[in-house]
C-alpha cells in the first residue's frame, strides 16, 4: 500500500525516514556503516572511499519505495548529494520529491510537525 507522505532527514551518518499521517508517524533509521560517527568526516576519509556514500544513498532510496510524496531535509550537503544520487540512479523517485529543506537536528516530534505543515501547504497548492 502506498505511503502518501514521507519525510527523510539525512546527514552523512544516518537517515531517518518518517511515514507521516495526520495523527501519528512511524520512523525508521538507517545508518551508514562505512562512516565513523563523528561530526565532520575527514576529507581524506571521503576521498579514500568515495563509493561508501553511494551505497548509503542507495539504501535510503530503496527504503523510500512506496512513498507518493517525499520531503528531503537535513543540516548539511548530504541531502543534496542524496538528491543527485536519486537523479542519477533512481529516476522513479524524482517526481515524488516535492521539496528539499535545510533543517538542523530536530527531535522526531519536531520533524514530524514540520513535515505535516509542509505537506499541508503543498496539498493546498495542488
Looking at residue 122, its pLDDT comes to 81
Looking at residue 44, its pLDDT comes to 47
**Is the entire prediction scored with pTM above 0.85?**
no
Distance separating alpha carbons of residues 97 and 35, to the nearest angstrom = 26
Distance separating alpha carbons of residues 23 and 102, to the nearest angstrom = 24
Looking at residue 53, its pLDDT comes to 80
Residues with pLDDT less than 50, the chain: 37-39, 42-48
Looking at residue 40, its pLDDT comes to 52
Q: Percent of the chain, pLDDT > 90?
A: 63
Cell for 3?
Answer: 505511503
Cell for 32?
Answer: 551508514
Looking at residue 45, its pLDDT comes to 45
CATH number for the domain formed by residue range(s) 3-125: 3.30.420.60
Task: Provide the residue ranges of all domains of the chain, joining segments of one domain with +.
Answer: 3-125
Amino acid at each position: 500500500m502506498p505511503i502518501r507522505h514521507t519525510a527523510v532527514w539525512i546527514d552523512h551518518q544516518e537517515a531517518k525516514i518518517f511515514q507521516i499521517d495526520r495523527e501519528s508517524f512511524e520512523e525508521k533509521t538507517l545508518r551508514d556503516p562505512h562512516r565513523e560517527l563523528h561530526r565532520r568526516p575527514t576529507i581524506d576519509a571521503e576521498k579514500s572511499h568515495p563509493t561508501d556514500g553511494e551505497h548509503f544513498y542507495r539504501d535510503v532510496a530503496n527504503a523510500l519505495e512506496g512513498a507518493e510524496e517525499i520531503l528531503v531535509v537535513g543540516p548539511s550537503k548530504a541531502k543534496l548529494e542524496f538528491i543527485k544520487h536519486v537523479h542519477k540512479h533512481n529516476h522513479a523517485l524524482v517526481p515524488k520529491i516535492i521539496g528539499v529543506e535545510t533543517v538542523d537536528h530536530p527531535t522526531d516530534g519536531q520533524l514530524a510537525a514540520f513535515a505535516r505543515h509542509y505537506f499541508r501547504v503543498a496539498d493546498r497548492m495542488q
